[in-house]
């Protein structure tokens, strides 16, 4: 394999980092080699890979392999839009380049374009009829396409009934041998919270009756909130804003250890992407929902782009809920997610949302998609999203938006940052990300922000990842999205 791609060896040696050469070597070897995939990469290596391939492409813009390799680096940094463009380019240059079809298929899978992905897997299988790996991927993708077609066929126009109507929670029995936490008189209490967090820490399962009670109650609480929640901090009050947590339950516990448990005097705002990727998403979301029930006015949750069905199907949450509970419970989660607010404004001055600002100034065509998906960019104006969804917005866009709405700055999450946070657009656009060592492989810090009512100045606190039990991220994700399958 190394010999076959010897020009990459030269290239990687020039790049001068062991980890970086390992990165390239591994991904040019057959994806059937699982032990190698345990090597830890940091986000810097992907960034470097992208940088070096971009330089190489400047010198040699007709090299399909460079495009294909950069496409992989983009896949790993969740820039699926760019990944798709590069894979497409690789195939334009060399339509016989089989790896290009793989990359394009993976990009399309990640973007939820299953039919397009299937077509590419089909090509690979046709060219390489004896390739078991290709056949497996083809079959897996085919299964999804058929399932989607079936779902469409049985879907009706009638308003979907809520799962809540088909549940008889009162009559669910808690078996005598269950010694875990239970709600007290059907209510979440501080004692229940502490017991549940300990219980989860020991990798034990909350009784399904309790899980259903929490979900039904939180649906009720969330459904009464506006899409844009407004809060006021008094002079002496502060709030903690956290970014993506992505199923990293043990890191969530660490935030509470470092920054104190949520309470009426220690309010929190969690800015979306609670689930998917990390394999303790059920524990994270049940903990967050329960705190919402305990402190409805002082514990805030906003929706991320991962609080939605198609993401949960690909990136693990649906699989995890099915493994730990049932498909019906996943449906209820899905209903609850739809009630999560989309943005929060603090003291009329700081606007918080998961993704960012809008594809257009003034009134907006798809405000929800933009709020949950967009990213800031350093250059003025707007450009095509690296993710293939929504857009990227420049400092001028932020400036205009803030001016029009008489705001000081925006806080958003959605992107992993080496320091756990990043201040851009001259301090007007702040990113906060709270999943340290994201996916066990990015080597990034996590961060949270303190905002005080007195001055509304952001104060950053960083933290590093803590160990977690040996269940790898993406353990419940669609097999085609798992590491090493790309």
Binding site for Mn ion (CB under 5 A): 273, 304-305, 414
Nearest CA among 478, 437, 427 for reference residue 457: 427
Give the integer Cα–Cα distance in Å for 450 and 55: 40
Instruction: Give, in degrees to the nearest 5, the angle at Cα 483 between 477 and 486.
Output: 100
Nearest approach, Cβ of 387 to Mn ion (angstroms)? 9
Tally the C-alpha atoms within 13 A of residue 185's C-alpha that lie toward its C-beta: 1
Q: Which residues lie closer than 8 Å to 149 by C-beta, 6 or more apart?
A: none
Nearest approach, Cβ of 130 to Mn ion (angstroms)? 39
Is the Cβ of residue 104 or residue 354 nearer to Mn ion in the bound state?
354
Nearest approach, Cβ of 385 to Mn ion (angstroms)? 12
**Dihedral through CA 294, CA 296, CA 301, CA 302, nearest 10?**
160
Say if residues 389 and 366 touch (Cβ distance below 8 Å).
no
* Closest chain position to Mn ion (CB): 414
Alpha-carbon 449 to chain mean position: 19
Is the Cβ of residue 209 or residue 414 nearer to Mn ion in the bound state?
414
β-strand partners of 448: 242, 461
Write down the catalytic residue from 8, 207, 306, 414.
Answer: 306
Helix (H, G, I), strand (E, B) or coil at 450: strand
Helix (H, G, I), strand (E, B) or coil at 240: strand
β-strand partners of 447: 462
Is the Cβ of residue 265 or residue 310 nearer to Mn ion in the bound state?
310
Active site annotation includes 306: yes
Nearest approach, Cβ of 432 to Mn ion (angstroms)? 12
Nearest CA among 105, 56, 64 for reference residue 86: 64
Instruction: Give, in degrees to the nearest 5, the angle at Cα 53 between 32 and 111.
Output: 60
Query: Which letter, b or e, does each residue of 326-357 get, where b requires 16 or more Cβ atoms within 10 Å of its Cβ?
Result: eeebbbbbbbbbebbbbbbbbbeebbbbbbbb
Is the Cβ of residue 28 or residue 415 nearer to Mn ion in the bound state?
415
Is the Cβ of residue 53 or residue 270 nearer to Mn ion in the bound state?
270
Helix (H, G, I), strand (E, B) or coil at 264: coil
Is the Cβ of residue 53 or residue 82 nearer to Mn ion in the bound state?
82
- 186 token code pair: 């059907």
Say if residues 75 and 483 touch (Cβ distance below 8 Å).
no
Q: What is the CA radius of gyration of the chain?
A: 23
Alpha-carbon 466 to chain mean position: 19
The β-bridge relationship of strands 446-452 and 238-242 is antiparallel
Is the Cβ of residue 86 or residue 276 nearer to Mn ion in the bound state?
276
Is the Cβ of residue 120 or residue 307 nearer to Mn ion in the bound state?
307
- 344 token code pair: 């929060």
Q: At what angle do helices 249-259 and 190-201 cross, to 10 degrees?
A: 130
Nearest approach, Cβ of 424 to Mn ion (angstroms)? 17
Nearest approach, Cβ of 305 to Mn ion (angstroms)? 4
The β-bridge relationship of strands 268-270 and 299-301 is parallel
Is the Cβ of residue 273 or residue 318 nearer to Mn ion in the bound state?
273
Nearest approach, Cβ of 469 to Mn ion (angstroms)? 25
Q: Which residues lie closer than 8 Å to 144 by C-beta, 6 or more apart?
A: 114, 478
Q: Which residues are catalytic?
A: 306
């Amino acid at each position: 394999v190394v010999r076959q791609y010897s020009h990459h060896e030269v290239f990687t040696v020039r790049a001068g980092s062991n980890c970086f050469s390992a990165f390239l070597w591994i991904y040019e070897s057959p994806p059937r080699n699982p032990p190698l995939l345990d090597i830890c990469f940091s986000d810097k290596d992907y960034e470097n890979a992208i940088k070096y391939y971009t330089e190489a492409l400047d010198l040699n813009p007709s090299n399909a392999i460079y495009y294909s390799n950069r496409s992989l680096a983009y896949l790993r940094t969740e820039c699926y839009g760019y990944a798709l463009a590069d894979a497409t380019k690789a195939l334009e240059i060399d339509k016989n380049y089989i790896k290009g079809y793989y990359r394009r298929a993976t990009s399309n899978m990640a973007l939820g374009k299953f039919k397009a992905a299937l077509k590419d897997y089909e090509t690979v299988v046709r060219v390489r009829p004896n390739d078991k790996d290709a056949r497996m991927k083809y079959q897996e993708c085919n299964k999804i396409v058929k399932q989607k077609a079936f779902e469409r066929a049985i879907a009706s126009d009638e308003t979907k009934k809520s799962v809540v109507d088909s549940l008889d929670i009162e009559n669910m029995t808690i078996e005598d041998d269950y010694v875990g936490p239970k709600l007290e008189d059907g209510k979440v209490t501080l004692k229940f919270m502490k017991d549940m967090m300990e219980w989860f820490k020991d990798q034990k399962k909350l009784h399904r009756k309790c899980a259903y009670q929490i979900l039904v109650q939180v649906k009720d609480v969330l459904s009464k909130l506006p899409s844009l929640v407004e809060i006021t901090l008094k002079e002496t009050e502060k709030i903690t804003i956290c970014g993506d947590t992505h199923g990293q339950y043990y890191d969530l516990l660490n935030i509470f250890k470092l920054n104190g448990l949520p309470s009426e005097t220690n309010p929190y705002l969690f800015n979306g992407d609670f689930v998917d990727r990390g394999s303790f998403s059920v524990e994270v979301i049940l903990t967050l929902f329960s705190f919402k029930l305990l402190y409805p006015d002082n514990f805030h949750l906003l929706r991320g782009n991962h609080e939605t069905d198609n993401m949960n199907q690909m990136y693990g949450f649906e699989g995890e809920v099915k493994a730990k509970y049932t498909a019906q419970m996943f449906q209820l989660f899905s209903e609850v997610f739809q009630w999560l607010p989309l943005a929060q404004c603090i003291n009329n001055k700081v606007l918080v949302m998961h993704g960012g600002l809008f594809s257009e100034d003034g009134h907006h065509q798809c405000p929800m998609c933009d709020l949950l998906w967009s990213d800031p960019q350093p250059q003025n104006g707007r450009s095509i999203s690296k993710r293939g969804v929504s857009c990227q917005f420049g400092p001028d866009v932020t400036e205009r938006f803030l001016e029009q709405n008489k705001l000081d700055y925006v806080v958003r999450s959605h992107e992993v940052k080496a320091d756990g946070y990043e201040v851009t657009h001259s301090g007007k656009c702040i990113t906060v990300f709270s999943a340290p060592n994201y996916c066990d492989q990015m080597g990034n810090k996590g961060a949270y922000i303190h905002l005080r009512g007195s001055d509304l100045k952001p104060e950053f606190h960083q933290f590093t990842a803590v160990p977690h039990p040996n269940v790898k991220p993406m353990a419940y994700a669609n097999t085609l999205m798992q590491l090493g399958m790309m």
